[in-house]
Amino acid sequence: MTAKNKSSDRRVQRTRDALRDALISLLEERGWDDLNIQDLCERANVGRSTFYLHFQNKEELLVGGFDDLRAWLRAQSAPEKTAVDAMPFVRGLIEHVHEQRNLFRSIIGRRSGHVVQKRFREMVCQLVEEEVAPPHAGWKQKAGAHYIAGALVELLAWWVDSGKGHTADEVEELFYQLTLPSIRQIKV
């Protein structure tokens, strides 16, 4: 036990990152159902027993990955404020989806699996909730968060599946155009 008890150790971070990256590469290569922990560890150059020091199973690694992504998106908020200040993570998310379309086709696309899709929805929903539904908010805030998250995820799914020709800026603009009034309604 050093200063911080877990994620501070650089070695830990290294192996966790390696596993996460291996997951990403195998995910777009084979899809969720056809990837196992062994191959994951081999790809990551990590001992198999080490895997279990960090995660309980495949799915835990996945949610860990989405936790990372969520944290990263949350962090993206501050630096260069976008035109609008509501839900600043969206800019980062859209760009990230764009840069990694292939991966996200395995995550939210028509041919994606159930688990992955569900976890991604959850992640987005949490981000939206943070923004729009404070801890003890009313039902409208919670329901509204689901509304917005569902809309965003479906928009992204449309984009990666059949919205090929459109830029991240266009999608972002459309999203904010449609969502800003909703946010205003909810946040009261």
Partner DNA sequence: TGCTGGACATAAAACCGGTTTGTGTCTGGA
Partner DNA sequence: TCCAGACACAAACCGGTTTTATGTCCAGCA
With 0-12 / 13-18 / 19 or more C-beta atoms within 10 angstroms meaning exposed / middle / buried, residue 145 is: buried
DSSP string, 99-166: HTHHHHHHHTSTT--HHHHHHHHHHHHHHHHHHH--TT--HHHHHHHHHHHHHHHHHHHHHHHH-TT-
Q: Looking at 40, 144, 160, 172, which residue binds a copy of itself (CB under 8 A)?
A: 144
| Smallest distance from DNA to CB 35, Å | 8
Our CB check for a copy of itself shows the closer of 41 and 90 to be 90
Number of residues that bind DNA (CB under 7 A): 23
Our CB check for a copy of itself shows the closer of 84 and 155 to be 155
| Smallest distance from DNA to CB 77, Å | 29
Our CB check for DNA shows the closer of 12 and 174 to be 12
| Smallest distance from a copy of itself to CB 72, Å | 24
Determine the Cα–Cα distance for residues 7 and 9; give it in Å rounded to an integer: 6
Q: Which of the residues 82 through 141 are near a copy of itself (CB under 8 A)? A: 114, 121, 139-140
Determine the Cα–Cα distance for residues 111 and 95; give it in Å rounded to an integer: 21
Q: Which of the residues 36 through 55 are near DNA (CB under 7 A)? A: 36-38, 45-50, 52-54
SS (H, E, C) 68-98: HHHHHHHHHCCCCCCCCCCCCHHHHHHHHHH
List interacting residues with DNA (CB under 7 A). Answer: 1-2, 6, 9, 11-12, 14-15, 36-38, 45-50, 52-54, 56-58
